Amino acid sequence: MNYITILQNHNLKVTPQRLEIVDILYKNGHINIDDLYKSLQSKFPSLSLATIYKNINTMCEKLFLSEVKIPHKKNVYELSKKEHSHVICSKCNTIIDINLDISTILNKAKQISKFNLNTSSIVFNGICPNCLDKKENLS
Amino acid sequence: MNYITILQNHNLKVTPQRLEIVDILYKNGHINIDDLYKSLQSKFPSLSLATIYKNINTMCEKLFLSEVKIPHKKNVYELSKKEHSHVICSKCNTIIDINLDISTILNKAKQISKFNLNTSSIVFNGICPNCLDKKENLS
DNA sequence: CTGACTGCAAACGTTTTGCACGGTA
DNA sequence: TACCGTGCAAAACGTTTGCAGTCAG
């Protein structure tokens, strides 16, 4: 399914700005508002931050965009997909998705809390292989 | 260890405002800036938001206060303790701490990501027992 | 007594809103 | 053509800063 269809399926008009926003989200995976704005400037010099905010908000409402909160970082956005966890490098801020089987801890959490749980938000923090290499080279 | 000692150990002067902030944090567990401000108004009618922000920030820097990011909610703050997970009710916003053994998924995450991971942030979302009861009474 | 803390006001950065124009369907 | 989306400017919001007066140690 391409971007055009995705937009149309959610009753959103297909504008060049929107197509590029979705394209950047698709290619980047996770991006914050500022970086998204910077990425769009070359193609749309007159594009305004207001447009980005309006689009991000409507896309989040339509649920095909998700907001991800990372401790001590700005919120990032990603195209919605099957629930997954995030791993972030505290040096270079690279974020990757990982699929974990969380059924065991989810059940444990239900049991302990007595809550009826449905969603989870899991972020691991550490250093990515790239930054680990750099560190070793320094010493 | 009481609040006074905690503050002194971190080279912070013991002011009535600070004592009350720590007391509220201790009793509430998790609170956002606005609610903290409201809770303080009765005791300190002239207390300013700036004071709260300054205190929260210094206490976070001194690492005896932690910021918790909850999806689609304002950040909340809690007195630092051993790493733990959070469960939040999407109806009434009650937040509780739970201790889970996350070593299995942490190892799996390390293995998949090749990152050197150290901290994690885990939030489960659902409905608390209280709100579940209310729902049943309605039907 | 001295440095740190408070409270006020102003400044700042981010996000939202209103409106006129332009583009999509 | 009708409506939705864009871009600009202004407004709103949350947070930070500077400063003068006050308080804790």
pLDDT along chain B (139 residues), means of 10: 87 96 95 97 96 98 96 96 97 96 98 98 97 76
Closest-CA residue in chain A for B102?
A105
Q: Return residue ranges of chain B for CATH 3.30.1490.190.
A: 82-139
Is CATH 3.30.70.890 the classification given to domain A82-139? no
Instruction: Test A106 with B124 for CB contact under 8 angstroms.
Output: yes
CATH topology of domain B1-81: Arc Repressor Mutant, subunit A (1.10.10)
Give the C-alpha separation, A91 to B115, whole Å. 12
- Which of B72, B110, B128 is the closest to A115 by Cβ? B128
Rounded CA–C1' distance between B92 and D3, in angstroms: 39
How far lies A4's CA from each of A51, A65, A89, in Å?
A: 18, 15, 33
Provide the token pair at B64: 């005896």
How far lies B137's CA from each of B89, B91, B130, B131, in Å?
A: 18, 15, 11, 10
* pLDDT in the model for residue B138: 60
Residue A71 DSSP label: T
Give the C-alpha separation, B73 to B93, whole Å. 9
Q: What's the sign of the alpha-carbon dihedral A113, A115, A116, A121?
A: negative
Instruction: Test B67 with A70 for CB contact under 8 angstroms.
Output: no
* pLDDT in the model for residue A2: 80
pTM of this structure: 0.94
* pLDDT in the model for residue B134: 85
Question: A31: how many CB neighbours lie within 10 A of its CB?
Answer: 20
The dihedrals phi and psi of A101, each to the nearest 5 degrees, come to -85, 105
* pLDDT in the model for residue B2: 80
Amino acid at A94: T
Residues of chain A with pLDDT under 70: 1, 136-139
Specify the DSSP element, H or E, that contains B98.
Answer: strand B95-98
